[in-house]
Every structure is written in structure tokens, then in C-alpha cells.
């Protein structure tokens, strides 16, 4: 099997597995307990917090462990709503993840809040001028802007947008789930107030995530109870998951150091895939090609080829890809991300997402290119179509 759907979830890294195993067996104590059996567990949680802080370039006390990206996104949004009830205006982007868009929609429907949804350019990036115009000093509570898109990999100008939000008195939240371990994240001294990560997107297990909370801001917890995580997220800690996400952060940091030294093996393979498919197939377009993208993601449109049919044929050849976000698989509506970029329904239904990881090999990419070209040819043959 060739797995190229890493934006949906990633396989567990061997180092991560080794790190978490002792906390599924011998080190089972509750880290909040006062006896000796709990001390190594407590130390492991503290070490994991340090590892995540090192990846994000922030303070250790700014790291809150959660169940995943969805909880982190929701917690950030609902905290802003509780802290500033008089500020009922939120700004987001039409290409955000459902964890953000649905939470904001509930605030519209339940609380009567107003949400401004920014469009995107054809390359998937927002217009900072449009953001500036959308901000309402004294009324805008929170700006939510995804750092890297889950379908296209397009990276948004988060640093500039966060500075704009703060200058008008609003909080700024970014969903960085698809950015962790792929592009540098440097929060120290910046204007980002909250940030979400999900462990299973960078080789940790499912069910553990991170919420960064800037120490300069107040925070209203979504979950209350025993006071864990500095009172910002109650509940007995998922120690094995926390140790795992800490090790995944350490592995991701090592990878980014390699990238900073001038070599990104993931980008090399992604670019090879796009280049070879484009050379061997007519009518191939890379969505978001004109913008900065995460080095692992290709959103490819093949003219005259239905993505759903391609997925079936690729699956038969043992190649796993996606027709967009895994959250939308099985639905008939076109991707709101692609719609925001100006693609019509026919173009969106010709789009496949191919997402690599640092575990992807050159041999897998060569085989995947052959399978991709073969599958597109078969669909065109059956449909009696060529590229438009």
C-alpha cells in the first residue's frame, strides 16, 4: 500500500510509539497524585510540554494539552465569546476547517453573533486589505485564520493578519493543525493569541492535541473540573498521548532543522510527483500553485477526469489519496475551499488531494505517478473524454 493521504491522518512514528508504550503499562499512575509512583508520570508530562514549546518557540506554561484540533479550535473561539460578551463580531475565512466554521455558525444561530467570512484569491490566500476593512474596533472579538489549508496546503499570512487583529483590540486564533512539523512556527514575541494542533496530523496518535494560549491574554476554559492544565482544561491527562505528541514535536523539530539546513526531502518528492504527473498527463492544474504551500501537499485537478472515479482506480492499485478533506468524504457538495478559490463544481469534482509525510519514500512516489497516470487514462477512456 502507498499511503498519500497524510493530511487526513499520519502513521505513528516508531520513535513516538516507543516513547508512549511505557505509559500504557507500568507508568499508569495519575500525574496529579502525590506518591512516588506518580513522579515519573508527572515528569513525562512536563517534558512533553517542553518539547511542544520548543517546536512552537513559545513558553512552556503557554501549552495546554487537549483531545485534538477540534477541541482546541472550539475552546479558543468559545473563550473569546465568554471573555468579551459585548463584542459579538468574528472574522474568519471561507476556506477554514469545519471545526472553526461550524463553531462560529452556532454562535450566529444561537447567540446572534455576526461573522464576516473573507474570500480568497484564486491562489487560495486572503487579501489583507479585505481583512483590515472587516475589522471593527471595539466590536470584533476574534479573528480565526488557518495557517495552512488542509486541502491545498496554501499558507496564509498569519503573522501580518495577527498584528492587524491585535492593533484593533481583537484576539487572533490560528488553526495550525496542518502546519506542525512541516513549516516553522515561531510564536515568541508575535501577535498570535491562541493556536491549535492535532497529534495525529504529525505522527502522534489520534485523541491528543494542543492549544497554545499566549500568556498575555485571559482565557475562559471550556472544560472545568479538577483544575488540570493550569486551570485551562480540566480532566485527568491522557499521559500516553501527551508523551507521544511531545516526541512527535521533537521529531518534527529535527526535521525542520534539516529543512533549515537547505534540504527538504518531502518537498523534493512532492515537486517530483507534480512534475512527473504534469509531464505525462495533459490538462493537469495544481490548485494554489502560485502561493506558498506546505511542502507535502498537492491539490491536483485533472481535466476531464472525475476525482471519485480516480480514487476507486487508485485504491485498486493500492494508492490512498483523497478527493479533498477527509471530513467531507462521502458528501455531494463541492469543497468550500475550492469554491472560495473560484473553482466551479465541474473543476472541483476533478480535484484530488495528494499529501505526503516525512515517511514517504522516493520508490512510493515513482509507483504512485505510474498509478495516477494509468488511472486518469482509464477514466478518460471510459468517459470518452480528453483534457479540455
Determine which one of 113, 168, 320, 327 is catalytic.
327
Grid coordinates given for 149? 489549508
Per the listing, cell 465541474 goes with 346
Q: Is the pLDDT of residue 102 over 50?
A: yes
Q: Helices (DSSP H) in 14-68: which residue ranges?
A: 14-20, 39-56
Give residue-wise pLDDT tens across range 331-356. 557 899 999 999 999 999 999 999 99
C-alpha dihedral, 37 to 43 to 44 to 45, nearest 10°: 110
Q: Is the pLDDT of residue 387 over 70?
A: no
Helix (H, G, I), strand (E, B) or coil at 295: coil
Give residue-wise pLDDT tens across range 218-237. 999 999 999 999 999 999 99
Mean per-residue pLDDT of the chain: 95
DSSP class per residue in 124-162: S---HHHHHHH--TTTEEEEE--SB-TTT-BBP-HHHHH
The pLDDT assigned to 171 comes to 98
**% of the chain residues with pLDDT over 90:** 94
The pLDDT assigned to 383 comes to 74
Task: Judge whether 144 counts as a catalytic residue.
Answer: no
Q: Is the pLDDT of residue 56 over 70?
A: yes
Give residue-wise pLDDT tens across range 274-332. 999 999 999 999 999 999 999 999 999 999 999 999 999 999 999 999 986 444 455 55
Residues 237 and 245: their CA atoms lie apart, in Å, by 13
Domains and CATH numbers, the chain: 2-9+263-383 (3.90.1150.10), 14-256 (3.40.640.10)
The pLDDT assigned to 327 comes to 47
The pLDDT assigned to 382 comes to 85
Q: Is the pLDDT of residue 271 over 80?
A: yes
Amino acid at each position: 500500500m502507498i499511503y498519500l493521504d497524510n493530511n487526513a491522518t499520519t502513521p505513528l512514528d516508531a520513535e513516538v510509539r516507543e516513547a508512549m508504550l511505557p505509559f500504557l503499562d507500568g507508568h499508569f499512575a495519575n500525574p496529579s497524585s502525590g506518591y512516588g509512583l506518580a513522579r515519573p508520570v508527572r515528569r513525562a508530562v512536563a517534558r512533553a510540554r517542553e518539547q511542544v514549546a520548543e517546536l512552537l518557540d513559545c513558553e512552556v506554561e503557554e501549552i495546554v494539552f487537549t483531545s485534538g484540533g477540534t477541541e482546541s479550535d472550539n475552546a479558543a473561539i468559545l473563550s473569546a465569546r465568554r471573555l468579551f460578551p459585548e463584542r459579538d463580531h468574528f472574522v474568519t475565512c471561507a476556506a477554514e476547517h469545519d471545526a472553526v466554521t461550524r463553531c462560529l455558525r452556532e454562535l450566529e444561530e444561537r447567540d446572534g453573533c455576526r461573522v464576516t467570512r473573507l474570500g480568497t484569491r484564486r491562489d487560495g490566500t486572503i487579501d489583507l486589505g479585505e481583512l483590515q476593512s472587516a475589522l471593527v474596533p471595539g466590536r470584533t472579538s476574534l479573528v480565526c485564520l488557518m495557517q495552512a489549508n488542509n486541502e491545498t496546503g496554501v499558507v496564509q499570512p498569519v503573522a501580518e493578519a495577527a498584528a492587524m487583529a491585535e492593533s484593533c483590540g481583537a484576539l487572533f486564533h490560528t488553526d495550525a493543525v496542518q502546519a506542525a512539523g512541516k513549516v516553522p512556527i515561531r510564536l515568541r514575541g508575535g501577535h498570535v493569541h491562541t493556536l491549535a494542533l492535532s497529534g495525529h496530523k504529525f505522527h502522534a496518535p489520534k485523541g491528543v492535541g494542543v492549544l497554545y494560549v499566549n500568556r498575555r491574554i485571559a482565557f475562559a476554559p471550556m472544560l472545568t473540573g479538577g483544575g488540570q492544565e493550569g486551570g485551562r482544561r480540566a480532566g485527568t491527562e491522557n499521559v500516553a498521548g501527551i508523551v507521544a505528541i511531545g516526541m512527535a514535536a521533537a521529531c518534527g523539530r529535527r526535521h525542520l532543522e534539516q529543512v533549515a539546513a537547505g534540504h527538504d526531502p518531502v518537498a523534493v518528492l512532492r515537486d517530483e510527483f507534480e512534475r512527473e504527473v504534469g509531464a505525462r498527463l495533459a490538462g493537469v492544474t495544481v490548485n494554489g500553485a502560485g502561493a506558498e504551500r506546505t511542502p507535502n501537499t498537492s491539490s491536483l485537478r485533472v481535466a476531464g477526469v472525475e476525482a471519485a472515479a480516480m480514487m476507486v482506480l487508485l485504491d485498486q492499485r493500492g494508492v490512498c489519496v483523497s478527493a479533498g478533506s477527509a471530513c467531507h468524504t462521502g458528501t455531494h457538495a463541492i469543497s468550500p475551499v475550492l469554491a472560495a478559490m473560484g473553482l466551479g463544481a465541474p473543476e472541483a469534482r476533478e480535484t484530488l488531494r495528494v499529501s505526503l509525510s516525512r515517511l514517504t519514500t522516493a520508490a512510493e512516489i515513482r509507483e504512485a505517478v505510474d498509478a495516477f497516470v494509468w488511472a486518469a487514462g482509464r477514466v478518460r477512456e471510459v468517459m470518452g473524454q480528453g483534457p479540455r
